[in-house]
């Protein structure tokens, strides 16, 4: 039997990791957009980018700018315990700890650290977040898909896990990888809970595919309670436009609403502006629903844990 390592998690009961063993399942999109939606509703939110690709910075518009350290501060904190100082107000009420290529060095450091003290490596992010976690209503972690030491450190810090998955077999197989990762941190984080599974990058009309995917996920977990009711549909144009412009999907939706109509341009009463993806509203609606359901699931889990 594995001995449980005691770690004081006071103030760390609302840390949620978005994780899947496969890439391209919208982990970063959900982290950025759901986090920002909660921030707009008044929650104080911290986003942690644990991915060496640093794509969270692209979605939020700070990547390769003056405030982007390419993950250096986070890497130093993971390896040496230095105090984290998040980027403040990347959006109102939304702070960020950037990721980037410097985290590759941290991953190597965690492997070396883990060979001497496995628990210390698993709790590296938890220890980094402990001094600042109480400043936030919720913390979201964007977990890397294939970097085991960084993913394990993220799960060692999380109180809840959300698993986005595509409807294809590779996405569903990523769920099994997540289950194995959860097992590796149970000794340092025994109360880690699965908040749910979100089907992403799908077509709203693919009902047979949705049914097959839901049945497979239900079989994997033994219950359909894990499945979010909401899904995030595939829409290449708004996804690309949002990342290229460094805006979030609901911000892109506002740009679409504010853009001149085709007939106004034709009549000469307005000038043609940047091309606007009209499907942004559909994806924004999906993300609003996911944010609402995530909060409901979080509150239900907290009620269960309190009883």
Tell me the per-residue pLDDT of 213-265, one tens digit each, with 9 for 90 and over: 888 888 877 888 999 999 898 767 777 888 888 888 888 878 767 544 433 33
Look at 96 and 180; give whichever has higher pLDDT: 96
Sign of the torsion angle spanned by Cα atoms 92, 194, 160, 80: negative
* Partners of 114 in the β-ladder: none
- Residue 268 in domain: no
- Residue-wise pLDDT for 124-160, tens only, equals 999 999 999 999 999 999 999 878 999 999 999 999 9
Confidence (pLDDT) at 205? 62
Output the CA–CA distances (angstroms, integers) from residue 102 to 73, 163, 210, 294, 304, in the order listed: 9, 25, 38, 31, 39
- Residue 290 in domain: no
- Residue 7 in domain: no
Structural domain boundaries enclosing 111: 15-234
Max avg pLDDT among 116-120, 219-223, 273-277:
116-120
Helical spans, DSSP H, in the chain: 27-40, 56-60, 72-80, 102-116, 118-122, 124-129, 148-157, 169-185, 207-221, 236-245, 249-258, 262-267, 280-306
- Residue 249 in domain: no
Confidence (pLDDT) at 1? 41
| pLDDT average, residue stretch 80-91 | 96
Retrieve residue 54's tokens: 């640093």
Look at 107 and 210; give whichever has higher pLDDT: 107
| pLDDT average, residue stretch 267-296 | 71
- Residue 288 in domain: no
Lowest mean pLDDT among 97-101, 130-134, 229-233, 281-285: 281-285
- CA 144 centroid distance within chain: 10
Confidence (pLDDT) at 224? 87
Output the CA–CA distances (angstroms, integers) from residue 215 to 85, 113, 210, 254, in the order listed: 43, 40, 8, 36
Look at 269 and 93; give whichever has higher pLDDT: 93
- Residue 297 in domain: no
Confidence (pLDDT) at 3? 58
The enclosing domain of 111 has a CATH number of 3.40.50.300
- Spatial distance between the Cα atoms of 187 and 218, rounded to a whole number of angstroms: 26
Count how many domains the chain has. 1
Please check the confidence at residue 25 and state whether its pLDDT lies above 90: no
- Residue 284 in domain: no
Lowest mean pLDDT among 10-14, 129-133, 173-177, 258-262: 258-262
Look at 173 and 290; give whichever has higher pLDDT: 290
Q: Is 11 left (phi over 0), alpha (psi -120 to 50) or beta?
A: left
| pLDDT average, residue stretch 160-179 | 81
What's this model's pTM, rounded to 2 decimal places?
0.89
CB hemisphere CA count around 266 (13 angstroms): 3
Mean pLDDT of the chain: 86
Please check the confidence at residue 201 and state whether its pLDDT lies above 80: no
| pLDDT average, residue stretch 106-111 | 95
- Spatial distance between the Cα atoms of 241 and 238, rounded to a whole number of angstroms: 5
In sequence order, what are the residues at sequence separation of 6 or more whose Cβ sits closer than 8 angstroms to the Cβ of residue 161?
Answer: 16, 17, 19, 155, 178, 182, 192, 193, 194, 195
- Spatial distance between the Cα atoms of 299 and 297, rounded to a whole number of angstroms: 5
- Residue 212 in domain: yes
| pLDDT average, residue stretch 59-83 | 96
């Amino acid at each position: 039997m594995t001995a449980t390592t005691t770690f004081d998690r006071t103030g760390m009961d609302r840390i949620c990791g978005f994780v899947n063993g496969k890439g391209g399942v919208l982990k970063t999109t959900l982290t950025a957009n759901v986090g920002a939606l909660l921030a707009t509703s008044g929650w104080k939110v911290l986003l942690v980018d644990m991915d060496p690709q640093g794509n969270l910075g692209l979605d939020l518009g700070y990547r390769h700018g003056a405030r982007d350290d390419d993950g250096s501060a986070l890497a130093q904190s993971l390896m040496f315990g230095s105090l984290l100082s998040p980027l403040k107000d990347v959006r109102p009420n939304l702070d960020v700890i950037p990721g980037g290529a410097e985290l590759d060095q941290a991953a190597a450091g965690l492997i070396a650290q883990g060979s001497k003290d496995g628990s210390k490596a698993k709790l590296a992010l938890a220890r980094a977040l402990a001094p600042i976690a109480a400043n936030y209503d919720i913390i979201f972690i964007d977990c890397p898909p294939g970097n085991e030491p960084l993913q394990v450190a993220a799960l060692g810090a999380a109180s809840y896990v959300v698993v986005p998955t595509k409807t294809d077999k590779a996405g569903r197989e990523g769920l099994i990888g997540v289950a194995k990762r959860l097992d590796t941190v149970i000794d340092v984080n025994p109360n880690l809970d699965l908040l749910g599974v979100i089907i992403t990058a799908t077509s709203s009309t693919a009902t047979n595919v949705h049914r097959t995917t839901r049945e497979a996920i239900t079989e994997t977990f033994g219950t359909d309670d894990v499945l979010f009711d909401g899904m995030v549909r595939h829409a290449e144009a708004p996804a690309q436009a949002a990342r290229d412009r460094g805006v979030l999907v609901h911000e892109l939706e506002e740009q679409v609403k504010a853009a001149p109509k085709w007939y106004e341009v034709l009549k000469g009463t307005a000038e043609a502006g940047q091309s606007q993806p009209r499907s942004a509203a559909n994806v924004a609606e999906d993300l609003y629903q996911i944010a609402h359901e995530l909060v409901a699931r979080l509150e239900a889990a907290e009620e269960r844990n309190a009883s």
